[in-house]
Amino acid sequence: MKRRMTGSVTGAIALFIASSMVTSILGFRQFERITTTPAWVMSANLPQGSIITRDSLEQVRIDKDLTETSIQNPRQLLGRELKIGKRSGDLVRQQDIKLPAQTSLSHAIPAGRVLYTLPNVHGGMPFSKLSTGDRLDVVVRGNRVVRTVARDIQLIGIINPEKGNLVEKDKGVMSLLQPNSSEREISPGHPSLVMAVRPADVFPLASIGAKDKVSLILHSAHDIAMGKKINVDPEKTYREVEVVSGLQRSKVRIGL
C-alpha cells in the first residue's frame, strides 16, 4: 500500500527543486561573467561602403578572447566607412574600416565649434591613453572656489613639449599639429590639449589663472555613443546677485 506524502515533505521537495534551479541559474550567470565581456557588435547587416552610425551598433556579451583584436571604443567606429560587408553580430576590426583621408586642420573641427589650445595641463590624467574624439569637462579650483569652465569639449590632439610632437591615436589631420619652439617654452614639461570647444567657452578657458588648479573630467565613450550626458555640476546652494556701484558691476553669491 502506497504511503501518501505529507504536506511538509511535499513542501521540502518543492523547496529543494527551487533551490537547485536558483543555484544553477546563479552558477551559470557567474560563469558567464567570468568568461564573457560586454562588446560592441553590428546590430544589423551592412554592405561594403556603409557608414557606421549609432543605430548600427549594439552591446552584447561575447567571449573575451574574441574582443582582443576588435575596436571597442565607439568613438573610433561612429562615422567610419566599412571596407567590407558586415553581418548582424559581427565585430569590427581596424582593417574593416577606412581611415579618414588627410585634409586641412579646419576639417577636424566639428560644426559650431572652434579650436582652442589649453596649455600646461598637468596631473591626474593618463594623457597617453586619451584618443581623438574623447569628451571632457574642465573644472578649475582657485581662491577656494571650484567652477566648471567648459563642458563637453572634444579632444582633437595632445601636444607633448618633451617629445616635441603630437600624441595621437589616429593619424591624418592631426599630423598637421606640430609644436614650435615658442610653444615648448610656454609649457615646459607639461602637455597642451588641442580641443574643439563652443565659442562661449573660449573666454572662460582663457580666464584660467596661473595659480588655478585645472582638473579634467573624462566622459565614458559608451555613454556618448548612447547619447547620454552626465552632469558633474553640484546642486546650487546659492544664487548670484548683480551689484552696481557707479560704473562698476560685479556679481555676489548669496547662500540659499
Q: Report the pLDDT averaged over residues 127-139.
A: 85
| Range of 34-43, 95-104, 129-138, 187-196 with top mean pLDDT | 129-138
pLDDT averaged over every residue in the chain? 76
User: Which comes out higher in pLDDT, residue 36 or 220?
Assistant: 220
Q: What is the pLDDT of residue 192?
A: 86
Q: Report the pLDDT averaged over residues 144-169.
A: 74
Q: Is the pLDDT confidence value at 63 over 50?
A: yes
User: HEC states along 38-74?
Assistant: EEEEECCCECCCCECCHHHEEEEEEEHHHHCCECCCH
Q: Report the pLDDT averaged over residues 183-204.
A: 76
Q: Is the pLDDT confidence value at 199 over 90?
A: yes
Nearest one of 30, 87, 92, 97 to 66, comparing CA atoms: 92
Q: Which residues pair with 184 in a beta bridge?
A: none
Burial 123-161 (b: 16+ CB within 10 A, else e): eebebeebbbbbbbbbbbeeeeeeebbbbebbbbbbbbb
User: Which comes out higher in pLDDT, residue 183 or 69?
Assistant: 69
Q: Is the pLDDT confidence value at 163 over 60?
A: no
> Is the pTM for the entire model greater than 0.85?
no
| Range of 10-24, 126-140, 159-173 with top mean pLDDT | 126-140
Q: Report the pLDDT averaged over residues 144-151.
A: 85
Count the neighbouring beta carbons within 10 Å of the beta carbon of residue 92. 23
